[in-house]
């Protein structure tokens, strides 16, 4: 238990209450002498803050003491005028008492001044200040007063309510109130732990198990001093691969409004990563309590705000500074921030490790297009397919790379003005981001492609727990014959060895053949309903058990994603999604997810396509499926877009020729340790990438 918990200020909480004599009123060995000029400065500060001092009286015969609160008026010399708080005290009670002087307290220490009284009446008192007084440290840690913080105490199914009176980093003082007729405060058991919940205006600021170190008496009200029985909080599951902490120069600072005191605070940042910051405080004035939520923190460098976030204090460890005074190191985890602020923070910490890595930095568009062609990412047949509308592609990329919208991220490996590695991703489904446009130079830095791939993994691992990221899944399309992604992502699936951690599903890619006379029984097209998603889930679990349905929003939870389409529109982009089912006589033949986007959002047009999940492979003729798809595409004025059909073996079994096969790789980002472990194992035996010029068509 902390040493400071039982160390209380030896002062009455109410004026006029007798107190025992103590060393606080008399100079003792180790007390510090305080000169008159310093006493004057403290008195004027108390006046400035509308605070009070205590006038101390001792009984002339018995020696017992009482103290009265007084408000000090401004003073410039050795005369101190004070007004009683509240005014109009009874002078008759003081006939048997003599005044010893006054006492100033700031919660950490108090100064005793043996002052002569020159005036005493019902309205106030005047002192003649001597040459010096004596300061005594009454606490190891200063206690900070609180205003407007509601307290709820839970113990064995009972709830007690009150307010947080004051606190420090190791203990809290709570004032509870209850109806005396109910006697509920008497049910508190001080020998058993309690759960404390502190909130302001309904917003929870702290919750944690505490021990009761002191409890007052009373039926209507009762004072509790609580000490948390933990020094650290585990916010998230531990991960083997975590972001590296960096000490930056110049050092950032954090500014925040303290949730308990309401005061503005400022602390230097000793180290920072994309997931948190480390700060230090002096032990005797520490303000950060493990478990405390900081609703808004601003991180600044050179007086410029880099980002704002919601945060929580995770741990508090006592260390020693170079001057040998006690210092506390606190860790603060970043809970949530605006997605654009995520890019700023990521760029800051990634470039601190390697200045060639950039996150969402400005791009020379001419250099980027040159890079795409030189690396073979835009190969001849792909260029032939986009050449007629190349100006549309240029405009889309200008918006994506120059404006850094919230729905897109790009990662660069760049040195001396030349681009060597590139990867981008877009959030195209409610909780999924698509890796696309992965390419690396054939010369220069052999591991540039691996560097940006690792950078994307780190970014998603660092920010996936932020609600604003909507980043549960990372997905990528690649062709089996494309060796680099097939090796990397295939190894991830193999090494994680759990389809709910990472999976690959094969889709046949084709454009619809020319319309011909329909054959077989007629199917009808309907908007999908709840039972269709349930049947699709049953079919997919039997055939794959992977993550494709969750990643593509083809589940009951992911059907409605209007907010994402609205976000695209807000950023100046197009995104539509429609889900249909193909049925015959109530029997489900296929589920079709149609997504429509700006031309060039994905160079392979995989964000502007129809995903088809064939459920009744025997009863659904390809010609009927194609007829239904044509009707759907005509309805949405999207006739010339590709189709991705699952399972690919459905078309194989019907001898339908398709253009290529795409594998859809999905990673559950909660399993990022497996991703990084696999990535490192894949390249551990070589210092360079064997597949220079690697690219991913997704």
Q: What is the pLDDT of residues 332-360, one digit of tens each?
A: 999 999 988 998 898 888 888 888 888 88
Q: Say if strands 418-429 and 408-415 run parallel, antiparallel, or are unpaired.
A: antiparallel
Cis peptide before 86 (omega within 30 of 0): yes
Pairing mode, if any, of strands 264-272 and 276-282? antiparallel
Q: What is the mean pLDDT of the chain?
A: 85
Average pLDDT over residues 567-596: 92
pLDDT above 90: percentage of residues in the chain: 44
Greater confidence, 142 or 370? 370
Supply the CATH classification number for the domain 504-667: 3.40.630
**Cα dihedral value 492, 493, 494, 497, nearest 10:** 120
The answer to whether the beta carbons of residues 332 and 250 sit under 8 Å apart is no
Contact 475, 434 (CB under 8 A): yes
The region of weakest confidence among 19-23, 301-305, 446-450 is 19-23
Q: What is the pLDDT of residues 178-210, one digit of tens each?
A: 876 666 888 888 889 999 999 999 999 999 999
Q: Supply the pLDDT for residue 86.
A: 86
Q: Where are the domains of the chain?
A: 18-137, 144-228, 253-337, 504-667
Backbone angles phi, psi at 378, to 5 degrees: -95, 95
Query: Which three-class secondary structure string do you get for 80-116?
Result: EEEEECCCCCCCHHHHHEEEEEEEEECCCEEEEECCE
Q: 63: cis peptide before it, omega within 30°?
A: no
Q: Among 44-58, 163-177, 390-404, 570-584, whose mean pLDDT is lowest?
A: 390-404
Query: Does this chain's domain 18-137 share its CATH topology with 144-228?
Result: no
pTM: 0.77
| pLDDT confidence of residue 687 | 45
The encoded tokens of residue 222 equal 């009762």
Most confident of 106-120, 144-158, 351-365: 144-158
Evaluate if residue 30 carries a pLDDT over 70.
no
Cβ 635 vs Cβ 598: under 8 Å: no
| DSSP β-bridge partners for residue 429 | 432
Residues 6, 214 contacting (CB under 8 angstroms):
yes
Separation of alpha carbons 457 and 452, rounded Å: 9
Q: Which of 131-145, 304-318, 393-407 shows the lowest per-residue confidence on average (mean pLDDT)?
A: 131-145
CB 491 within 8 A of CB 549: no
pLDDT tens-place string over residues 458-486: 888 888 889 998 999 999 999 988 888 89
Q: What is the mean pLDDT of residues 409-417?
A: 87
Mean pLDDT across the stretch 440-458?
79
Longest dimension (CA), the chain: 118
Segment 547-564, tens digit of pLDDT: 999 999 998 765 556 789
Closest CA to 102 of 61, 70, 63: 70
The fold of the 18-137 domain, in CATH, is Pnp Oxidase; Chain A (2.30.110)
Helix axes 390-402, 365-374, angle to 10 degrees: 120
Hunting for tokens 């004599």 — which residue is that?
21
CATH level 2 (architecture), domain 144-228:
Beta Barrel (2.40)
Q: What is the pLDDT of residue 689?
A: 41
Q: How far is CA 273 from the centre of its chain?
A: 12
pLDDT of 519: 54
Q: What is the pLDDT of residues 637-685, one digit of tens each?
A: 988 899 999 999 999 999 999 999 999 999 999 998 888 888 888 877 4
Encode pLDDT of 44-98 as tens digits. Answer: 999 998 889 999 998 888 888 888 899 999 999 999 999 998 887 878 878 888 9
262 C-beta neighbours (distance < 10 Å), count: 13
pLDDT tier for residue 321 given thresholds of 50, 70 and 90: low
Residues 6+ away with beta carbon under 8 Å from 419: 367, 368, 371, 412, 413, 441
> What sign does the CA torsion over 512, 513, 514, 518 have?
negative
Q: Which residues of 378-404 are buried (b: 16+ CB within 10 A; e: fewer)?
A: beeeeeeeeeeeeeebeebbebbbeeb
Which residues contact residue 589 at a Cβ distance below 8 angstroms, ignoring those fewer than 6 apart?
Answer: 523, 581, 582, 583, 614, 615, 616, 619, 620, 624, 625
Kindly report the CA angle at 306 between 267 and 421, in degrees rounded to 5? 130
- Find all residues with CB under 8 Å of 619, minimum gap 6, and list them: 521, 584, 587, 589
Pairwise CA distance, residues 447 & 462, whole Å:
22
Q: Give the model's confidence band at 398: pLDDT under 50 very low, under 70 low, under 90 confident, else very high.
A: confident
Host H or E run for residue 624: helix 622-635
Alpha carbon distance 133, 627 (integer Å):
96
What DSSP string runs through 360-421? S----HHHHHHHHHHTTSS-HHHHHHHGGGHHHHHHHHHHHHHS--TTEEEEEEEETTEEEE
pLDDT score of 323? 63
- Mapped to the 3 state alphabet, what secondary structure does 119-137 carry? EECCCEEEEECCCEEEEEE
SS3 261: coil
DSSP single-letter state for residue 599: T
User: Has residue 626 got a pLDDT over 70?
Assistant: yes
* pLDDT(284) > 90: no
Give the pLDDT score at 444: 63
DSSP structure class, residue 246: B
Residue 371 CB partners (closer than 8 Å, separation 6+): 377, 419, 422, 439, 441
Query: Given a cut of 90, is residue 585 above it in pLDDT?
Result: no
CATH number of 253-337: 2.40.10.220
Answer yes or no: is pLDDT of 121 > 50.
yes
So what's the pLDDT on residue 140?
65
Contact 314, 276 (CB under 8 A): yes
Reported confidence tier of residue 372, pLDDT bands at 50, 70, 90: confident
């Amino acid at each position: 238990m902390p040493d400071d918990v039982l160390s209380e200020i030896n002062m009455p909480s109410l004026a006029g209450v007798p107190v025992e004599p103590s060393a606080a009123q008399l100079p003792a060995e180790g007390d510090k002498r305080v000169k008159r000029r310093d006493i004057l400065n403290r008195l004027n500060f108390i006046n400035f803050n509308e605070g009070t001092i205590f006038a101390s009286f001792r009984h002339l015969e018995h020696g017992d003491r009482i103290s009265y609160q007084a408000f000090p008026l401004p003073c410039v010399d050795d005369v101190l005028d004070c007004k009683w708080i509240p005014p109009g005290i009874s002078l008759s009670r003081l006939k048997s008492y003599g005044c010893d002087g006054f006492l100033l307290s700031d919660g950490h220490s108090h100064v005793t001044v043996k002052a002569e009284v020159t005036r005493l009446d019902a309205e106030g008192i005047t002192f003649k200040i001597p040459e010096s007084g004596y300061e005594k440290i009454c606490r190891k840690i200063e206690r900070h007063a609180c205003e407007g913080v509601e307290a709820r105490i839970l113990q064995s199914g009972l709830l007690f309510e009150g307010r947080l009176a004051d606190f420090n980093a190791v203990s809290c003082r709570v004032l509870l109130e209850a109806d005396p007729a109910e006697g509920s405060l008497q049910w508190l058991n001080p020998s058993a732990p309690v759960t404390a919940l502190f909130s302001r205006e309904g917003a929870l600021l702290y919750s944690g198990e505490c021990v009761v170190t002191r409890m007052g008496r009373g039926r209507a009200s009762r004072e509790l001093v609580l000490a948390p029985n933990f020094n650290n909080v585990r916010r998230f599951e531990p991960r083997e691969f975590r972001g590296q902490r960096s000490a930056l120069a110049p050092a950032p600072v954090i500014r925040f409004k303290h949730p308990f005191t309401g005061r503005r605070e400022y602390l230097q940042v000793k180290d920072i990563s994309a997931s948190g910051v480390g700060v230090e405080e002096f032990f005797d004035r520490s303000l950060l309590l493990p478990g405390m939520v900081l609703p808004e923190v601003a991180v600044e460098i050179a007086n410029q705000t880099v980002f704002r976030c919601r945060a929580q204090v995770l741990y508090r460890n006592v260390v020693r500074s170079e001057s040998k005074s006690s210092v506390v190191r606190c860790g603060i985890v970043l809970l949530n921030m605006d997605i654009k602020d995520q890019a700023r923070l990521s760029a800051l910490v990634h470039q601190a490790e390697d200045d060639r890595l950039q996150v969402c930095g400005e791009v020379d568009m001419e250099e980027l297009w040159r890079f795409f062609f030189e690396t073979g990412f835009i190969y001849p047949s792909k260029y032939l397919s986009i050449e007629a509308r190349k100006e549309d592609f240029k405009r889309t990329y200008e918006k994506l790379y120059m404006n850094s919208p919230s729905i897109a991220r790009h990662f660069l490996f760049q040195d001396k003005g030349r681009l060597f590695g590139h990867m981008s991703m877009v959030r195209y489904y409610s909780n999924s981001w698509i890796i696309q446009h992965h390419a690396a130079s054939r010369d220069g830095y052999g591991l540039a492609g691996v560097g940006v791939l690792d950078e994307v993994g780190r970014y998603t691992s660092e920010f996936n727990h932020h609600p604003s990221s909507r980043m549960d899944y990372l997905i990528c399309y690649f062709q089996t014959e494309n060796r680099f992604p097939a090796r990397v992502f295939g190894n991830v699936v193999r090494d994680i060895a759990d389809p709910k951690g990472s999976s690959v599903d094969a889709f046949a890619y084709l454009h619809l053949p020319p319309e011909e006379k329909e054959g077989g029984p007629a199917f009808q097209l309907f908007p999908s309903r709840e039972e269709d998603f349930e049947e699709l889930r049953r079919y997919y679990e039997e055939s794959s058990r992977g993550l494709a349905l969750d990643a593509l929003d083809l589940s009951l939870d992911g059907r409605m994603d209007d907010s994402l389409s609205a976000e695209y529109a807000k950023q100046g982009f197009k995104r539509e999604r429609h889900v249909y089912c193909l049925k015959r006589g109530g029997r489900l033949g296929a589920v079709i997810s149609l997504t429509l986007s700006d031309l060039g959002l994905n160079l392979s047009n995989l964000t502007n396509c129809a995903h088809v999940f064939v459920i009744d492979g025997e009863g659904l003729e390809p010609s009927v499926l194609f007829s239904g798809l044509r009707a759907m595409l005509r309805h949405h004025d999207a006739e010339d877009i590709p189709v991705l059909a699952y399972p690919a073996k459905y078309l194989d079994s019907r001898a339908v020729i398709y253009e290529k096969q795409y594998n859809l790789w999905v990673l559950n980002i909660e399993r990022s340790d497996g991703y990084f472990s696999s990535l490192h194992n894949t390249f551990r035996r070589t210092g360079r990438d064997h597949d220079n010029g690697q690219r991913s068509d997704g």
